[in-house]
């Protein structure tokens, strides 16, 4: 729906700027009422007239050959010329205009995402930062931004003193050869169990970390081996999930950059003493002080994040800095961004924390220290195994079954997270995540395969010189298979008059509902980008798939006159393209056969 066009029709007759008129427009709950509605309550306050009077006067004043305005009580409803609108949509898709959804001002955006801790397991909880960050990056890139993905590894801190101490004591009791990460977890848990009975272990860990900070050869060698083993395991998962990074930089990368931050804060008279520590006061901003140096002179997370932000802006050229990090860190990032502003960094206004809720286990927060972790790799493997069982039951002759099961299983896990608003906590349930029915990734992937199957069955007719599609095979596509892999429309509509395209098919209520849903794609894509919210796109794709399946069950796509079939195939092709594009942006594969 071209909301901007309707906005321009209304604006000359009301005392509001166009952008405020646009915000008032709504989609009516019942399509029979109209395609777009303007509630006139806000206007009534400004124009000193009843909303009913305003709606009627606007209906009398607005004239357009393809848009009819009708008053319905306090609402002004707009009804579109369905055939004309369908033709405009199809032509826009064929010319590329429909797919071009540009940002107002393209920027270079640095995205901090995933960021697991070295020598700790990549648990199901890490899925959130990784896949939310991946989807946000792809969505922003789709609308024209230059996105740079950064994996900010947790490779420094007192935890490594604990790991070294544990390794020196019990390293020969765990399997670090075949399962290094699970072995590290076992050592980490054992350290904390033993430390509760023997507090001396904490002092031993601090001593090892001091040796690491001082460049001790033995401590450094062990630390590097932890990193190497961890990255091997992490990279396997990243490759499997289709996630890539432009930079993988651990916290240790910024060790030699923090002194300059402290010096600048001191020169600007921003540092103050607080019980021997150095802080930046933020009381005026309604926040507690930001700790920069502890009483023993060592730096802390805020110091490192200040150095990181400065590096990403100055060296990486970031116009906007995004941090896809759990909601528990909200105060921390507010403090860091405020300190940057006090340092005179105007660009701090373009720093954003993209918070997300916790992934809980039976209602409890997961804890590496207590070994309460669900390994992501185990979840993915089980999801793929279950998908393979489903395929064996429904389509045992399918080629590349394992590869398709991988796509479906991973799709179930990834979409199971992304369909939820990122700020919500999620109680991890393997059973629910692996349920392939309902609002799931596999449902969307199957719908895509169905559209591809229909297009494949129509190809023989499309290649015929006479265009005789009325005798094509039936719509039955129980295998949901297809060989069509391109995202081009079924018919090139960019220049030809196409008298053989019967746009009156748009009058069918199921077709019109599908057309209006298709038309929302650019709007939903922009909303997902502006809100950094992949669930907006995920929910839209569910709406589109449901609308298509209703259409498919009520309309015989491959039956009728050639001009009718061509029109119906264009709708199928558009649905196919939007599903494939949208699922790719969310990080899901789209198998042609399921």
Query: Of 86-95, 173-182, 515-524, 531-540, where does mean pLDDT reach its minimum?
Result: 173-182
Q: Quick one: which H or E segment has residue 402?
A: helix 401-418
Mean pLDDT calculated for residue range 24-45: 92
Q: What is the pLDDT of residue 466?
A: 38
Asked if residues 500 and 563 have their Cβ atoms less than 8 Å apart, the reply is yes
Does residue 504 register a pLDDT over 80?
yes
pLDDT tens figures, 313-368: 999 999 999 999 999 999 999 999 999 999 999 999 999 999 999 887 666 666 55
Beta bridge partners of 37: 26, 77
Q: Is the pLDDT of residue 282 over 90?
A: yes
Residue 57 lies in a domain: yes
Cα–Cα distance list, 84 to 37, 99, 565 (Å): 19, 19, 17
Position 484 scores a pLDDT of 34
Confidence of residue 249 (pLDDT cuts 50, 70, 90): very high
Q: What is the pLDDT of residue 203?
A: 94
Residue 475 and residue 560 in contact, taking contact as beta carbons nearer than 8 Å = no
Does the residue 294 lie in any domain? no
Half-sphere exposure of 186 (CA within 13 A, CB side): 14
CA-based R_g, the chain, Å:
29
Average the pLDDT over 113-131 and give the result: 92
Q: Is 294 a residue whose pLDDT tops 90?
A: no
Task: Determine the 3-state secondary structure of 471 from DSSP.
Answer: coil
The DSSP code for 68 is E
Whole-number Å distance between alpha carbons of 566 and 482 = 18
Beta strands per DSSP E along 206-334: 247-248, 271-274, 277-280, 290-293, 320-323
Residue 472 is predicted with a pLDDT of 40
**Pairing status of strand 277-280 against strand 271-274:** antiparallel
SS3 call for 527:
helix
Closest CA to 115 of 126, 123, 106, 104: 126
Does residue 421 surpass a pLDDT of 50?
A: yes
385: domain range? 376-420+427-433
Non-local (6+) Cβ contacts of 459 within 8 A are: 484
pLDDT above 90: residue 430? no
493 pLDDT tier (thresholds 50, 70, 90): very low
Answer with the one of 80, 115, 141 that is the final residue of a domain.
Answer: 80
Last residue of a domain, one of 80, 97, 126: 80
Does the structure show a pLDDT above 60 at 495? no
**Per-residue pLDDT band at 534 (split at 50, 70, 90):** very high
Say if residue 335 is exposed, middle or buried (CB neighbours under 10 Å; 0-12, 13-18, 19+): buried
* CA dist., res. 226 & res. 164, Å (int): 9
Closest CA to 142 of 515, 582, 577: 582
Q: SS3 of 16, please?
A: coil
271-274 and 247-248 beta bridge pairing? unpaired
Residue closest to 303 by CA, chosen among 274, 321, 278: 278
| pLDDT band at residue 29 under the 50/70/90 scheme | confident
Q: pLDDT for 182-219, tens place per residue?
A: 899 999 999 999 999 998 999 999 999 999 999 999 99
Residues with Cβ within 8 Å of residue 169, at least 6 apart in sequence: none
The span from the CA of 267 to the CA of 290, in Å, is 17
What's the pLDDT score for residue 550? 97
Residue 380 lies in a domain: yes
Q: pLDDT at position 488, please?
A: 44
pLDDT at 46 over 70: yes
Q: Which residues lie closer than 8 Å to 144 by C-beta, 6 or more apart?
A: 102, 103, 106
Domains in the chain: how many in total? 2
| Distances from the Cα of 440 to the Cα of 24, 366, 433, angstroms | 32, 25, 8
Question: Residue 458: which of 479, 444, 431, 477 has the closest Cα?
Answer: 477
List the beta bridge partners of residue 367.
Answer: 372
At 230 the three-state DSSP class reads helix
Element (H, E) at 38: strand 36-39
Distances (CA, A) of 506 to 445, 514, 575: 26, 9, 15
In a domain, 250, yes or no: no
Residues 51 and 29: their CA atoms lie apart, in Å, by 19
> Average pLDDT in the 241-252 region?
97
Cβ–Cβ < 8 Å for 143, 272: no
Which residue among 58, 80, 102 closes a domain? 80
Return mean pLDDT, the chain. Answer: 90
pLDDT of 364: 65
pLDDT, greater one: 487 or 148: 148
Per-residue pLDDT at 485 exceeds 60: no
| Mean pLDDT of the 302-308 span | 96
Whether 393 is in a domain gets the answer yes
- Round to whole Å and give the CA distance between 32 and 544: 19
Per-residue exposure over 30-48, b if at least 16 CB sit within 10 Å of its own CB, e if not? eeeebbbbbbbebbbeebe
Q: What percent of the chain has pLDDT over 70?
A: 91
**Predicted local distance difference test score (pLDDT) of residue 470:** 38
* Between 480 and 279, the higher pLDDT residue: 279
Quick one: pLDDT at residue 71?
Answer: 96
pTM: 0.90
* pLDDT confidence of residue 432: 77
Residue 397 lies in a domain: yes
| pLDDT(163) > 60 | yes
* Phi, psi dihedrals of residue 244, rounded to the nearest 5°: -130, 160
Q: Rounded to whole angstroms, how far apart are CA atoms 438 and 445?
A: 12
pLDDT at residue 460, rounded to an integer? 57
CA 369, CA 120: separation in Å to the nearest integer?
Answer: 10
What's the CA gap between 387 and 391, in Å, rounded? 6
Burial of residue 275 (CB within 10 Å: 0-12, 13-18, 19+) is: exposed
Query: What DSSP line would sit under 82-140, residue for residue?
Result: HHHHHHHHHHHHHHTTTT----SS--EEEEE---PBTTS--BTTHHHHHHHHHHHHHHH
Q: Considering only 30-39, 463-472, 524-533, 547-556, which range has the smallest mean pLDDT?
A: 463-472
223-238 pLDDT, tens digit per residue, is 999 999 999 999 999 9
- How does residue 481 score in pLDDT terms, banded at 50, 70 and 90? very low
Closest residue by Cα to residue 170 from 154, 196, 194, 203: 194
Pairing status of strand 426-428 against strand 359-361 = parallel
| pLDDT confidence of residue 299 | 78
Q: Which residue has the higher pLDDT, 472 or 71?
A: 71
Give the CATH number, domain containing residue 28.
3.30.1360.70
């Amino acid at each position: 729906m071209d909301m901007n066009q309707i906005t321009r029709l209304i604006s000359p007759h009301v005392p509001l700027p166009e952008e405020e008129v646009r915000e008032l427009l709504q989609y009516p709950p019942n399509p029979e009422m109209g395609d777009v509605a303007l509630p006139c309550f806000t206007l009534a306050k400004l124009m000193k007239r009843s909303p009913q009077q305003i709606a009627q006067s606007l209906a009398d004043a607005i004239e357009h050959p393809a848009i009819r305005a009708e008053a319905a009580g306090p609402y002004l409803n707009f009804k579109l010329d369905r055939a004309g609108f369908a033709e405009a949509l199809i032509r826009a898709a064929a010319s590329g205009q429909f797919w071009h959804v540009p940002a107002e001002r393209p920027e270079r955006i640095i995205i901090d995402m995933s960021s697991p801790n070295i020598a700790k397991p990549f648990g199901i909880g890490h899925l959130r930062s990784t896949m939310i960050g991946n989807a946000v990056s792809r969505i922003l890139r789709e609308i024209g931004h230059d996105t740079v993905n950064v994996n900010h590894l947790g490779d420094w801190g007192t935890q490594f003193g604990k790991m070294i101490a544990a390794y020196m004591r019990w390293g020969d009791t765990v399997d670090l050869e075949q399962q290094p990460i699970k072995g590290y977890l076992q050592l980490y848990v054992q350290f904390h169990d033993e430390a509760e009975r023997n507090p001396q272990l904490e002092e031993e860990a601090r001593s090892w970390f001091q040796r690491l900070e001082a460049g001790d050869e033995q401590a450094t060698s062990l630390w590097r081996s932890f990193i190497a083993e961890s990255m091997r395991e992490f990279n396997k998962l990243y490759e499997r999930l289709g996630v890539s990074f432009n930079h993988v930089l651990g916290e240790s990368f910024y060790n030699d950059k923090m002194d300059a931050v402290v010096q600048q804060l001191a020169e600007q008279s921003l540092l103050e003493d607080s019980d021997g520590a150095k802080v930046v006061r933020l009381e005026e901003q309604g926040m507690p002080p930001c700790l920069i140096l502890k009483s023993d002179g060592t730096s802390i997370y805020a110091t490192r994040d200040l150095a990181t932000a400065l590096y990403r802006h100055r060296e990486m050229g970031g116009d906007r800095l995004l941090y896809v990090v759990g909601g528990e860190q909200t105060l921390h990032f507010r403090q860091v961004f405020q300190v940057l502003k006090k340092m005179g960094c105007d660009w701090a206004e373009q720093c954003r924390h993209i918070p997300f809720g916790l992934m809980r286990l039976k209602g409890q927060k997961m804890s590496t220290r207590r070994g309460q972790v669900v390994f992501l790799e185990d979840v993915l493997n089980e999801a793929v195994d279950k998908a393979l069982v489903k395929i064996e039951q429904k389509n045992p002759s399918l080629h590349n079954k394992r590869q398709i099961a991988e796509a479906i299983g991973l799709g179930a896990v990834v979409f199971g997270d992304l369909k939820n608003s990122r700020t919500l906590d999620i109680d991890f349930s393997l059973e629910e995540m692996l349920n392939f029915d309902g609002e799931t990734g596999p449902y969307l992937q199957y719908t895509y395969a169905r559209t591809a199957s229909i297009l494949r069955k129509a190809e023989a007719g499309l290649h015929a010189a006479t265009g005789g599609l009325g005798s094509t095979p039936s719509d039955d596509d129980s295998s949901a298979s297809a060989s069509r892999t391109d995202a081009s429309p079924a018919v090139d509509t960019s220049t030809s008059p196409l008298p053989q395209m019967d746009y009156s098919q748009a009058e069918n209520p199921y077709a019109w509902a599908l057309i209006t849903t298709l038309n929302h794609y650019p709007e939903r894509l922009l909303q997902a980008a502006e809100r950094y919210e992949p669930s907006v796109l995920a929910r839209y794709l569910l709406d589109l798939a449901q609308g298509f399946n209703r259409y498919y069950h009520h309309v015989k796509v491959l039956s009728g006159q050639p001009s009718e079939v061509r029109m119906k195939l264009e709708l199928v092709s558009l649905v196919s393209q939007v599903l494939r594009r949208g699922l790719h942006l969310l990080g899901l594969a789209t198998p042609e056969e399921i």
